[in-house]
């Protein structure tokens, strides 16, 4: 069974810092990996989708990388802002279902 781990569980940074969120998975046989953002009491918003054949994807200040062989992905957030405060979830697709990590709760302080 695919196990997805996200480190750290929580992170607090001052506004303007660049930061990296980590995701690791146990089975490298994946189709794709998706990063989501979840605000308190809200649904999941898709941020980036990386196919298994890709190394990275970028959207604005976000950059996600994928190293399938080592079972790792990182989400890089440049020049963080208070509005980036949320929980970030990594989800790995090894078949038809997404296996989720427990998330990293990010707080960006002004």
Q: What share of the chain is helix, strand, coil (3-state, %, to 5)?
A: 5, 60, 40
Q: What does each C-alpha distance from 53 to 3, 43, 49, 80 come to in angstroms?
A: 20, 28, 12, 28
Stretch that binds another protein, among 11-19, 44-52, 65-73, 74-82 (CB under 8 A): 44-52
Place of tokens 């190394």: 55
Near another protein by CB under 8 A, which window of 8-16, 66-74, 77-85, 92-100?
Answer: 92-100
Applying CB under 8 A, which of residues 2, 24, 33, 34 lies at the interface with another protein? 34
Binding residues for another protein, rule: CB under 8 A, are: 31-32, 34, 36, 41-46, 49, 51, 89, 91, 93, 95-98, 100-103
């Amino acid at each position: 069974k695919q196990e997805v781990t996200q480190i750290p569980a929580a992170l607090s940074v001052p506004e303007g810092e660049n930061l990296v969120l980590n995701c690791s998975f146990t089975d490298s046989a994946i189709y794709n990996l998706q990063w989501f953002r979840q605000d308190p009491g809200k649904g999941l918003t898709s941020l980036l989708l990386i196919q298994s054949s890709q190394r990275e994807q970028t959207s604005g200040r976000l950059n996600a990388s994928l190293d399938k062989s080592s079972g790792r992905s990182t989400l890089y957030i440049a020049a963080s802002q208070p509005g980036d405060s949320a929980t970030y979830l990594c989800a790995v697709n090894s078949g038809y279902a997404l296996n989720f990590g427990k998330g990293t709760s990010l707080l960006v302080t002004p």
